[in-house]
Amino acid sequence: MNVDLSKASMNVGQQYEAILTTINNEGKTNAAPFGVRIIEEDKVMLKIFEGGNTIKNIKDNGEFIVNITNDPIMFSYATTTSIPDEYLSRINYDDHEFAHISNADAYFICKVYSIKEGMRKDNIKDSEANVIKADVLELKINSPCVRPMNRGIHALMESLVNYSRINIVDKDTQDFFYRKI
Ligand SMILES: Cc1cc2nc3c(=O)[nH]c(=O)nc-3n(C[C@H](O)[C@H](O)[C@H](O)COP(=O)(O)O)c2cc1C
């Protein structure tokens, strides 16, 4: 094992929110946020719905970069359109060109070893989804205190704030807070 994701505070069995950067067949970079589950110190799993740019690029090329950042602007760009080129850099690994977020706290290069297509049921609807497993070939850490984003912790903080205000709001707001909690 050459790579150990725990060096970037990413532990086996945990899921983190990250931004995937891929390059399409015309050479254009795409960036979008996804949940990344750590299945071994050097292996990750993603569940990606069918129909987007990232899954197309991954199916075409079998590779991607996972960027670790807490920058809300990067997550906003990546969710609404893509990240503008001025925030991105290119690197060469094993004669392949990859793109990453220039100021990411860390990023790692992934090569897909398995894609399984199927239906994924969540609280919105049943959709075609792909379960992707990939080896991590190289990890680059840029920040001494890299902390990957964990959506559950943000949701918990929001719930605790709502809970702490439950006795000072009106009934409608209480019901709204309880539904959110
Ligand atoms: C924080 C966050 C996490 C997300 N995680 C996933 C995920 O795990 N799987 C998925 O299919 N979409 C996920 N999405 C939605 C995709 O990012 C979204 O569909 C995006 O538009 C795909 O972009 P693309 O077409 O450029 O690939 C997530 C979105 C956000 C904001």
Specify the 3-state DSSP secondary structure of 167.
Answer: helix
Output the residue whose Cα is nearest ligand 1's atom 9: 48
Contacts with 53 (C-beta within 8 Å, 6 or more apart), sequence order: 22, 24, 30, 32, 82
Are residues 99 and 50 part of one domain?
Answer: yes
Q: What is the pLDDT of residues 133-156, one digit of tens each?
A: 999 999 999 999 999 999 889 999
Look up residue 71 and give its two tokens. Answer: 């920058």
Residues 135 and 165 in one domain: no
What amino acid occupies position 37?
R
Instruction: Tell me, yes or no, whether 172 and 94 share the same domain.
Output: no
- Assess whether 9 and 68 both reside in one domain: yes
Centre of ligand 1 to C-alpha 107, Å, is 18
Residue for token pair 């897909």: 112
The alpha carbon of 4 and the centre of ligand 1 are apart by a number of angstroms equal to 25
30 lines ligand 1 (CB under 6 A): yes
Give tens-digit pLDDT for 42-101: 999 999 999 999 999 999 999 999 999 999 999 999 999 989 999 999 999 999 999 999
Identify the CATH number of the domain in which residue 52 sits: 2.30.110.10
Q: For ligand 1, atom 4, which residue shows the shortest CA distance?
A: 34
Residue 85 shares a structural domain with residue 171: no
Q: Looking at the structure, tell me whether residues 114 and 125 fall in a common domain.
A: yes
Atom of ligand 1 nearest to the CA of 149: 1
Both 67 and 126 in one domain: the answer is yes
Ligand 1: nearest atom to the Cα of 34: 5
Residue 54 belongs to domain spanning: 5-149
Say if residue 165 is in the same domain as residue 125.
Answer: no
* Nearest-atom index, ligand 1, CA of 35: 8
What's the rounded Cα separation, in Å, for the pair 90 and 101?
A: 9
Alpha carbon distance 95, 84 (integer Å): 24
166 shares a domain with 81: no
* Residue 152 token pair: 């559950």
Amino acid 124: pLDDT: 66
Q: Which element (helix H / strand E) includes 156?
A: helix 151-164
Total domain count, the chain: 2
Q: Residue 65 — φ and ψ, nearest 5°? A: -115, 140
Query: Cα–Cα distance between 100 and 180 in angstroms, integer?
Result: 35
- 67 and 110 together in one domain: yes
Ligand 1: atom nearest CA of 48 is 11
